[in-house]
Amino acid sequence: MQRTFMAWGAVLMALSVAIGAFGAHMLEGRISADEMAVYETGVHYHMIHGIAVIITGLAAGLFGESRKLFWAGVLFIAGVLIFSGSLYVLSLSGIKWLGAITPIGGVSFIAGWLVLMSSAWSGKRT
């Protein structure tokens, strides 16, 4: 689990930098300022939660693998895919109904942080 989450986190971070650079260099002037702000929000949360996945991997190495840490990592990855992914597609395509999907990713992020907190406080390998 430790190596898996650290690898996933590194991939997410590399993608966040590439997607952010693409937005900064290729989208400026091609999409509206509002759409660019939506895109940048996706990149911001993508990057933060890529780091969260790495932290989850480090926690598994430090405290031992657990179901809680597994689910925290899965929830962070799912949040990036759903939250950031929907914002990327929304900003580039203008498909407005994707805005209804974005909060599912946000809930996934919140749940991931709460499960990570629970793991840290429990001190158990469950």
The closest of 57, 85, 74, 69 to 108, measured between CA atoms, is 74
**What digits encode the pLDDT tens for the residues 100-111?**
999 999 999 999
Radius of gyration of the chain (CA): 16
Q: How confident is the model at residue 125 (pLDDT cuts 50, 70, 90)?
A: low
- Tell me how many domains the chain contains: 1
For 44-71, letters b (16+ CB in 10 Å) and e give: ebbbebbebbbbbbebbeebeebebbbb
**What digits encode the pLDDT tens for the residues 43-91?**
999 999 999 999 999 999 999 999 999 999 999 999 999 999 999 999 9
**What digits encode the pLDDT tens for the residues 12-44?**
999 999 999 999 999 988 999 999 999 999 999
Q: Which domain holds residue 111?
A: 2-122
